[in-house]
Amino acid sequence: MTPGVVPRNLAFVEVRQRAGAATWYEAILRDLQLDKVWVAFDRGIWPSRELSCQHVRARVFPVDSPPQLIAGAEVEVRFPATEDGPAHWSAGSISHNACEQEGRIFVIVEGREVAVALDAVRAPSQQVPLNPLAFTRAAVPVGKELHGWLSLPDARGCLEQVRSTTGLHLATPGVEHPRGGNGVVVQELDAVILIGGEAAIARASMVLKIHLMHQAEVEAFHRRRAKKLAQLKELEAKGLGEDARLSFEVDADLIGRTCGKGGERVKKVEKEFNVEVRIQETPQDADPSEPRKILIYCDSDADAEGARRELELRKQLYPLPAERITWFQRSDNRLIQDVTRKAGLAAATWTESGLELCGQQSSLEDAVLLLDSHNEYFLVYREMDREQFMISQSFEELEQANRPSSFRPNPCTSKSRERAQDQTKAEAPRPRGRGGRGRGARVRPIGA
């Protein structure tokens, strides 16, 4: 290729919609193959598309092609991008009323006189449409692990360095085997496109492969790093309970009962509700009597609430006066043992103020219901005991009244007499049964 005909970097081009059109739109060259060119537009204002080489030329910047600011001189004027189209250059001329002021100048475009900035005016471009025969194309495939990297600014910077150091016209992310669909390129980036002379492409291929080799290692490191950082963040979040679906506090002395022997209660809840249960760690200098926080991790609020209901143990005092505590404790505390078993309590402990219940909320409610039912009978039993005492006392008084006065026991000696009578009865010979032998008497052998 003749030096100076095409700018060093072919990434920036201008395209027209039809042959002979005087308006050229700014675009970015993505690939060139045979007589077809693939271009994209800034900010995706227009979709990427496939064009004939006859409608594409290298872009010229005003600084490289300053205009002659003489009335009637032919120029090209740049109009900025709009919501409907990219920036474009239109043919025009310097106005006869041109007067340069505050960096602006009057030009005639399509019969209208407009004031534009000086840096938006250039001499007419001398660039000719691209000649596909003047270029060699090579596509260097890129591993799948680097496909995402191709769309990053870091990749564009790396490829620009390769292009500038090896004398290429273009080094850009692209598709190894492009195909157009209604003029729109829809394929995933999977290669680096090199366009230039054969010698430049050979040098660029060697340099590019070195970059790709190292970049693969760099990207692998970043993936490992991101994964480790994510794990670290997750562990830190779990340690603080920030990402727990639900959390609740448990008294320090209830942690053992909450977890169960060998963690059996926790394991049962985790399996039943498909959750993960953790006990938040406490600082070494923390008070061991402070409540502990239990964290529940899962995807569903319903599962979290269900797990809490099954796992959470609470304490509740069932207040009782001293006389009723004694009544509830009769028969070796069997009544409380029965309530604990039927209500499913974890524990029931007597205190000076009453009975301290420990269990799930539903168990506490059931236990209170059962205790209330028992408690309703306290007054009934007390009245029964009172009447029983009165009846027994009446029998004793009646027995004493029916005895002769001489036989009435002296209250002071009655107990001594009773003890004497009991001793006499114990020393008296046992009555004998049939045959004159008492029960249990030893039987002599015959002929003894």
Model confidence pLDDT, tens digit, residues 260-289: 888 898 999 999 999 888 888 777 777 888
Distance, in Å, from the CA atom of 11 to the CA atom of 1, rounded to the nearest integer, reads: 17
Same-domain status, 24 and 71: yes
Whether 395 maps to a domain, the answer reads: no
Phi and psi, residue 304, nearest 5°: -65, -45
Whether 425 maps to a domain, the answer reads: no
Same-domain status, 301 and 320: no
Phi and psi, residue 172, nearest 5°: -145, 150
What is the model's pLDDT at position 185? 52
Same-domain status, 29 and 76: yes
Same-domain status, 49 and 74: yes
Same-domain status, 300 and 322: no
Whether 92 maps to a domain, the answer reads: yes
Whether 431 maps to a domain, the answer reads: no
Question: What is the full DSSP assignment across 112-150?
Answer: EEEEEEGGGEEPPP-PPPP-GGG-EEEEEE--GGGTTGG
Whether 167 maps to a domain, the answer reads: yes
Same-domain status, 113 and 18: yes
Same-domain status, 93 and 152: no
Nearest to 195 by CA among 172, 161, 164: 172
Domain boundary among 259, 289, 311: 311
Domain boundary among 380, 399, 421: 380
What is the model's pLDDT at position 369? 93
Distance, in Å, from the CA atom of 376 to the CA atom of 143, rounded to the nearest integer, reads: 82
Please give the structure tokens belonging to residue 146. 């680097």
Task: State the pairing for strand pair 49-52/112-117.
Answer: unpaired
Same-domain status, 108 and 23: yes
The residues of the chain scoring below 70 in pLDDT are 1-8, 98-101, 180-186, 235-243, 404-448
- Taking each helix axis as running N to C, give the angle between helix 264-273 and helix 301-311, from 0 to 180 degrees, rounded to the nearest 10: 150
Residue 86 contacts residue 118 (beta carbons within 8 Å):
no
- Taking each helix axis as running N to C, give the angle between helix 330-343 and helix 361-375, from 0 to 180 degrees, rounded to the nearest 10: 140
Q: Which domain holds residue 51?
A: 12-122
Same-domain status, 193 and 281: no
Same-domain status, 41 and 86: yes
pLDDT in tens, 156-168: 999 999 998 898 9
| Cα–Cα separations (whole angstroms), residue 313 to 140, 256, 300, 364 | 65, 11, 22, 9
Note the maximum CA span of the chain. Answer: 170
What is the model's pLDDT at position 354? 94
Residue 395 contacts residue 345 (beta carbons within 8 Å):
no
Distance, in Å, from the CA atom of 288 to the CA atom of 240, rounded to the nearest integer, reads: 18
Locus of tokens 């025009």: 92
Domain boundary among 380, 415, 437: 380
Whether 130 maps to a domain, the answer reads: no
Whether 140 maps to a domain, the answer reads: yes
What CATH number is associated with residue 324? 3.30.1370.10
Model-level pTM? 0.50
What is the model's pLDDT at position 411? 53
What is the model's pLDDT at position 418? 54
Buried b (16+ CB within 10 A) or exposed e, 155-191: beebbeebbeebebbbbbbbbeebeeeeeebeeebbb
Catalogue the long-range contacts made by 158-164 (C-beta closer than 8 Å, 24 or more residues apart). Answer: 158/211, 158/215, 159/192, 159/208, 160/9, 162/204, 162/207, 162/208, 162/211, 163/9, 163/204, 164/8
Whether 237 maps to a domain, the answer reads: no
Same-domain status, 112 and 27: yes
- Taking each helix axis as running N to C, give the angle between helix 198-240 and helix 153-166, from 0 to 180 degrees, rounded to the nearest 10: 160
Residue 201 contacts residue 136 (beta carbons within 8 Å):
yes
- Split into its structural domains, the chain has a count of 4
Distance, in Å, from the CA atom of 207 to the CA atom of 199, rounded to the nearest integer, reads: 13
Same-domain status, 204 and 144: yes
Distance, in Å, from the CA atom of 330 to the CA atom of 327, rounded to the nearest integer, reads: 6
Please give the structure tokens belonging to residue 375. 């408690």
